[in-house]
Structure 1
Amino acid sequence: MNLRQQLKAALDRLAEIAALAKSENRDFTEEEITEVATLSASADALDAQIKAADDAQASITRLVKSGEGRPAPVLDSVTDRTDQALTGSFGDQFVKSAAYQQFRKDHPSGFGQGTPIQFGLIKVGTLRDLGRKANAPTLQAGLDHTQAIRFPMVDLTTPPPITLLDVISRGQMAGQSIEYLQITAVTRNAAIIPNEILPADGTTKPTSGLSTALATASAFTYADGFTVTNMMLADAPALASYMDSQIEFNINAVVEDKLINGSGTGGNPTGILATSGTQAQAFDTDVVTTIRRAIGKVTRIGGTVTGVLVSPDDDEMFDLLKDAEGRYYSGGPWSSGPNTIWGRPRIVCHRLAAGTAIVGNLRTITLLDREGLSVLAFNQHADYAARNLVYVRGELRAAQAIFKPAELAVADLTP
């Protein structure tokens, strides 16, 4: 976004916060007060930059029209040089924020020993962006059932791997928690019936049923921090790259872990393995048969199997399966393409224990964004100011909900 678009977004968000508090007839919360202060400072800085840019443009126009032939000024700030190199990543959003730009402008020679460093919370993305890379494939109808193909050559167009965060649903929430109904079991008894049913007939109209349970999705804070030097903090490209490779990766990992293994107690959300109402599939004959049995349990109640979650160990095991003549069941070592089993994507989940697979409609798993990913940087931490070090912390608040546990089957792959 350009400067005016950023300013409009900040002003729209301020109006949204004010309208929400007014509609609920309440004062601002502490979180809203902090966000208002950050947005106000950002809006002031953006307004000043817009005015300076307008003045510069007016000067250039005047000089060109006067025939002096002066060339347009060359951009020289750190932020200007990195605009062309960076994309829309979390690190990019941080180094392009008004707060970072203003702080960099105030310290053009870098941050030395004793420089007080304090960035307010800078919003760098929403939960919809988390775990989704710019070049990651989007699952469209039909793509998630693409069959693996054995190519007679080495394929150099291998797409990036699909992760759990790529295939679940995303949403938003306005409060701390929401209550919702989970569908834990489905009975479908639809049938053709006679036009007339006499009292003596044993035929009655069929009745289908849904078993439901009341569940609560509460917002939890996911956070991670790391230490950088003052020199790295002043180097926008290096800082953006480091943030993308560290904060995003680590927060993705903990979100994925809680989606799978969250216990629902002790300050943890409830993950798939601890959710009541999911179906269970015991080991049957072999791992391939077991997966097919699990698929059948989901499809029999009208569910759609969008993927199969497996651990890295089990993913390797599936790749190495051979027939009686020593031929790989899959494409083998010289082919590439979507890793599938029974036509469904096989998605590697590093937080899933070996010997367990989760089969079903992964879109029924939903992450609800309470507060998007924000970054806070400061050197008022231990003896960091004296060591020219800065603590950078990223955090987000989100809730997770599983609306149809019955459409997920947990399969045991151990004999």
Structure 2
Amino acid sequence: MNSKIRQLQDEAGNFTAKARAIVDKLKAEGRDFTAQEKTDFDAAMAKASSYLEQIKTLRADEKILADAKGLMAQIGAPVDEKGNRLDGFSGGATKSKGRVGLAGKAGKELASRIAAGMVDGQKALLPAGTAHAGVPLLPEVVELGHPSNTLLDALVALPAPGPTFKALVQRQRDNRAAPVAAGEIKPTSLFGLEEVEVNLEVLAHMSEPTPRYWFEDNDALQVFVQDEMIRGLRDALEGQVLTGDGTRPHLQGILSTSGIQVQAFTTDVARSVRAAITKLEVAGHEDNHVIVLRPEDWEKAETARAEGSGQLEAVADVTQRAQRTLWGIPVVVSNALPLGTGLVIDREAVVVYADAMVDVRWSETVADDFQKNQVRARVESRYAAVVSKPLGVVRVATVATP
């Protein structure tokens, strides 16, 4: 077995074991996740999934090399264990700068096999210039300058039942249960359910034209471009989930949903957020919250000092910021929020619906790309956001109103 694959399997096993240990503890204690345990569980599962995707890619690459070796054997060319020619001729398989190519009929056959065996978009571009790959909805991509926790990771994500479907929204909760004397009429509780029509909307973008040979000379370039574009799609989706105005093709975002609660600014960001938490608890949303703040507002919360002692209130040690929490609740930092605005959300109050896969296509048929030997990528998918429990969301003012 490839040593790299074995290493990835060990890593995936370690994170799977961490997730299993959390679940076993909950079962033994007969309780649900705490907010921190849910965050730790999701992070461990995301890591495990990431390593499994890398294993799938490496195994697919090994299959391509095996196919190449088999094809060269069919045409009578001696090859080594990696499928490279041993007879000194260049008319068959050539390997240079990380690429493998085949000439003539053998090359066409291998190209067709690669096309049929695309896995997660990690294969080289097809000679015809067009490829299609399925990519998971929320892939874990860890790059410098991008936080590992986003709002999309914190919310419920479900596959959409169709391009248009019905969803139930609870805009009210009035529990009127009370003692009732014999023969008296029982009180009626109100749950404020409303059926709404939901439409999946397309989010998409294209890459700039890139010379084809750049991809052939650099094995990592296609994955890099694909990951950057998927990240861009996620950023756009997060912005729509937060601020979409609901006018098609825009999503119905959280801030434009009627019925969400509002918390005015108090003395500072941290105390304003704490007042919002109280509003959620009064409305019956007592656990599993997430806080969303702009970076500058999170800085204010982190650097706020208690009166008298002068100690930092939000953090115990300024040298350790990995556990980003406020009042014991995970904090997500998002540039998509409007200035002066934060959110405190019951994670189960907002649902993001999506197609099962993100569509990634490569083409050289745009404009005059074919003549210039250039290729582009197009990345798209369809999404919808539903605030199913508006009372489970509080919009927080993080600055005083002039």
Task: Output the TM-score relative to the length of structure 2.
Answer: 0.66
Shift in Å at residue 272 of structure 1?
0.2
**1:160 and 1:274 mapped to 2: Cα distance?**
26
Equivalent residue in structure 2 for 1:251, among 206, 214, 233 = 233
The answer as to whether partners of 2:290 and 2:332 remain within 8 angstroms in 1 is yes
The residue type equivalent to 1:327 in the other structure is: Q
**1:336 and 1:273 mapped to 2: Cα distance?**
28
The residue type equivalent to 1:394 in the other structure is: V
Who is 2:122 aligned against?
Answer: 95
Using the aligned pairs only, state the percent identity: 22
Shift in Å at residue 340 of structure 1?
1.1
Who is 1:43 aligned against?
Answer: none
Shift in Å at residue 333 of structure 1?
2.6
The answer as to whether partners of 2:205 and 2:380 remain within 8 angstroms in 1 is yes
Shift in Å at residue 276 of structure 1?
1.2
Shift in Å at residue 80 of structure 1?
8.0
The residue type equivalent to 1:376 in the other structure is: R
Relative to structure 1, the CA distance from residue 234 to residue 349 in structure 2 (aligned partners, 3 Å threshold; closer, same or farther) is same
Who is 1:118 aligned against?
Answer: 129
The structure showing larger relative contact order (alpha-carbon pairs under 8 Å, at least 6 residues apart) is 1
Who is 2:167 aligned against?
Answer: 180
The residue type equivalent to 1:208 in the other structure is: S
- Counterparts of residues 147-166 of structure 1 (less than 5 Å): 161-166=148-153
Who is 1:225 aligned against?
Answer: 206
**1:244 and 1:101 mapped to 2: Cα distance?**
12
Question: 2:195 aligned with 1:214, yes or no?
Answer: yes
Relative to structure 1, the CA distance from residue 285 to residue 317 in structure 2 (aligned partners, 3 Å threshold; closer, same or farther) is closer
Equivalent residue in structure 2 for 1:310, among 289, 293, 304 = 293
- Counterparts of residues 18-167 of structure 1 (less than 5 Å): 53=67, 56=70, 73-75=81-83, 93-96=120-123, 100=124, 103=127, 117-120=128-131, 122-127=132-137, 129-130=138-139, 132-133=140-141, 161-167=148-154
**2:142 and 2:268 mapped to 1: Cα distance?**
38
Considering only aligned residues, what root-mean-square deviation do their CA atoms show, in Å? 3.4
For 1:293-327, what per-residue CA distance to the aligned partner results, in whole angstroms no more than 9, with x for missing partners? Answer: 21111122221342101111111111111123432
Who is 1:341 aligned against?
Answer: 326
Relative to structure 1, the CA distance from residue 342 to residue 205 in structure 2 (aligned partners, 3 Å threshold; closer, same or farther) is farther
The answer as to whether partners of 2:172 and 2:391 remain within 8 angstroms in 1 is yes
Task: Output the TM-score relative to the length of structure 1.
Answer: 0.64
The answer as to whether partners of 1:171 and 1:368 remain within 8 angstroms in 2 is yes
Equivalent residue in structure 2 for 1:402, among 379, 383, 387 = 387
- Counterparts of residues 313-392 of structure 1 (less than 5 Å): 313-324=296-307, 325-329=309-313, 330-370=315-355, 372-392=357-377
The residue type equivalent to 2:168 in the other structure is: L
**1:390 and 1:101 mapped to 2: Cα distance?**
9
Relative to structure 1, the CA distance from residue 240 to residue 381 in structure 2 (aligned partners, 3 Å threshold; closer, same or farther) is closer
**1:102 and 1:382 mapped to 2: Cα distance?**
19
For 1:165-188, what per-residue CA distance to the aligned partner results, in whole angstroms no more than 9, with x for missing partners? Answer: 111112112422111110112122
Who is 1:299 aligned against?
Answer: 281
Structure 1 portions without partners, runs of 5+: 1-45, 61-69, 82-90, 104-116, 136-158
Relative to structure 1, the CA distance from residue 75 to residue 101 in structure 2 (aligned partners, 3 Å threshold; closer, same or farther) is farther
The answer as to whether partners of 2:121 and 2:135 remain within 8 angstroms in 1 is no
Who is 1:12 aligned against?
Answer: none
DSSP 3-state at the match of 2:210: strand
DSSP 3-state at the match of 1:394: strand
**1:183 and 1:253 mapped to 2: Cα distance?**
28
**1:189 and 1:161 mapped to 2: Cα distance?**
43
Who is 1:274 aligned against?
Answer: 256
**1:251 and 1:396 mapped to 2: Cα distance?**
8
DSSP 3-state at the match of 2:219: helix
The answer as to whether partners of 2:352 and 2:386 remain within 8 angstroms in 1 is yes
**1:179 and 1:333 mapped to 2: Cα distance?**
47
**1:366 and 1:235 mapped to 2: Cα distance?**
42
Shift in Å at residue 275 of structure 1?
0.7
